[in-house]
Amino acid sequence: MDFGSFLSALTPLNLAFALLGVVAGTVIGSIPGLTATMAVAVLVPITFSMEPASALILLGAIYTGAIYGGAYAAILLNTPGTPSAIATTFDGYPMAKRGDGDLAVAIACFASVTGGMIGALALLFLAPPLAEVALAFGPVEYFWLAIFGLSLIASLSTGNLIKGLVGGAFGMILSTVGVGEISGDIRLTFGSQTMIGGFGVVGALIGLYCIPVLIDLVAVPDRHLKVEDDIRSVRIGEAFGIAIRSKFNLVRSSVIGTLVGILPGAGGSVAGLVAYSEAKRSAKPGQKFGEGEPDGIMATEAANNATVGGGFIPTLVLGIPGTPPDAVILGALLVQGVRTGPTLFESNGAIVYTFIYGLIIATVLMLPTGLLIGRYAYKSIVSIPKAVLVPSVGFMTIIGTFAIRNSISDVIIMLLLGTFGWVISRFGFAASPIVLGLILGPIAEQGFVQGWIIGDATGNLFGMFFGRPLSQAIIAFTIISLLYPAFTAWRRRRVAT
């Protein structure tokens, strides 16, 4: 981590790439359906003619920008722009509804920058030891992690546990449709070839979150978002104050995000949800998560941007991509002739450190650009008349879904799921448990099957699932997270009597 690398990250060209990447990434990420993976993949060929370090800076900046950009749609349209921003909708959209959309966007920006910085610093200083975390996680740990994630349904669906569990189970069933990820079986397609690809997470996100919003927009005569009569010009100071007050939440969420980011196959959505539920669990009296609590946005956004730096740790140290965008970047590096893996830090140290500094610079640049673009996004969403907003968002949902894999059947599935989601929301079923089941179901299934095969082969099935220290820790967390609401309720009763 020599000073020379820092200086070479500061060349005007590299700075320009970092700025360009952040802006492009933020805009792409804000459109539901256009994911960070897609943004990076499309731009890879442009980087072939560049210096490896510059190419990496551009791609890394796009990636981190896209993860932040996902918050806009989550806050202003209740639709996660990227899967990472699922938990941002929980409090972001209620804030926007009550007229605090600009504040929410600014808070998201501060949180994203903090998370991105902590993730990037971990990458800079702790990459080799942290890469061991990725290796320590075996199939069983992934299984328990997924179970832990599913236990969040309990804390997410306060007062509505049964409906939350039904939604989660439904999501898990949806996730099994199509060709089994590791078994190769074709399941629950009912003979239809359209269903072979199964339910994509992004398509389901767009359908379950965005379509109900659109239907409600049309059905209700009110404005989309409440706007204060006196449009306060800048709420950056206010947002900064809130962020400073919740510094502990920010740091904790960033650390969670970094650690989850290191795990290949978990990703930003899991990181955001885990951080959100932790923030909710340690809520102070008076904080109402799920009804527009700034801390909820901060937890999610800090965590999901921290996965960027975290995800690069196994990518660069082990040659194992932490997240899908990392996989694309890994491919771009190979074309450049840079071999990732155990020898990378020695053989190509200059490139790696220039890149890491570049990522840090891109994260810093995200602060001004994010605040600017955020204000613009907010103003355009609140000022556009409904008659224009609904068709343009509807158009974008279709384009976004189609773009995932150029499949018109994905669009049909998305529309059907969306309508279904609107209908069940009338009966008190929320979209989030379904999406959680859809994301975590395959992780749980794979981990379980692999853990079972290995445990069976070594003749120690019980020890495989319950005997490993890391598994035991995750199981303990799960139990705590499940019992905590009951415990606080019990304590409150005791205090009252």
Site of interaction with other proteins (CB under 8 A): 37, 41-42, 44-45, 48, 134-139, 178-184, 186, 191, 193, 196-198, 200, 264-265, 314, 318-321, 324, 326-328, 330-332, 334-335, 337, 339-343, 405-407, 446, 449-450, 453-454, 456-459
Question: Between residues 182 and 372, which has the closer beta carbon with respect to other proteins?
Answer: 182
Q: Residue 368 carries which DSSP code?
A: H
Please tell me the distance from the alpha carbon of residue 203 to that of residue 175, in angstroms, as a whole number. 12
272: Cα within 13 Å, side-chain hemisphere = 33
* 59 vs 113 by CB, closer to other proteins: 59
DSSP state of 473: H
Min CB(271)–other proteins separation in Å = 18
Q: Which is nearer to other proteins, 266 or 435 (CB)?
A: 266
> What are φ and ψ of residue 209, in 5° steps?
-95, -45
Nearer to other proteins, 132 or 216 (CB): 132
Long-range contacts from 242-250, C-beta under 8 angstroms, 24+ separation: 242/103, 242/107, 242/294, 242/298, 243/107, 243/110, 243/111, 243/114, 243/298, 246/294, 246/295, 246/298, 249/279, 249/282, 249/295, 249/298, 249/299, 249/302, 250/111, 250/114, 250/115, 250/298, 250/302
Whole-angstrom Cα distance, residue 23 to residue 366?
8
CB of 329 to other proteins, least distance (A): 9
CB of 373 to other proteins, least distance (A): 26
CB 56 to other proteins: min, Å: 15
Bridge partners of residue 187, in order along the sequence: 178
* Minimum CB distance to other proteins smaller for 191 or for 285: 191
Whose Cβ is closer to other proteins: residue 321's or residue 437's?
Answer: 321
For 230, phi and psi rounded to 5 degrees?
A: -90, 100
Quick one: 24 or 318, whose CB is closer to other proteins? 318
> DSSP string spanning 432-447?
HHHHHHHHHHHHHHHH
Shortest Å, Cβ 111 to other proteins: 28
Give the DSSP per-residue string, 309-331: HHHHHHHHHHS--SSHHHHHHHH
Question: Which is closer to other proteins, CB of 183 or CB of 392?
Answer: 183
**DSSP structural state of residue 45:** G
Closer residue to other proteins, CB minimum distance, 257 or 265: 265
**Burial, 494: exposed, middle or buried (Cβ in 10 Å; 0-12, 13-18, 19+)?**
exposed
- Is 257 in a helix, a strand, or coil? helix
- By beta-carbon proximity to other proteins, the closer residue of 59 and 107 is 59
User: Least distance in Å: CB of 471 to other proteins?
Assistant: 12
Shortest distance, position 39 Cβ to other proteins, whole Å: 12
Min dist CB 479 to other proteins, Å, is 24
DSSP calls for 411-470? HHHHHHHHHHHHHHHHTT--HHHHHHHHHHHHHHHHHHHHHHHHHHHTT-HHHHHHSSHH
Closest approach, Cβ 86 to other proteins, in A, equals 20
Q: Least separation, in Å, of the C-beta of 226 and other proteins?
A: 40
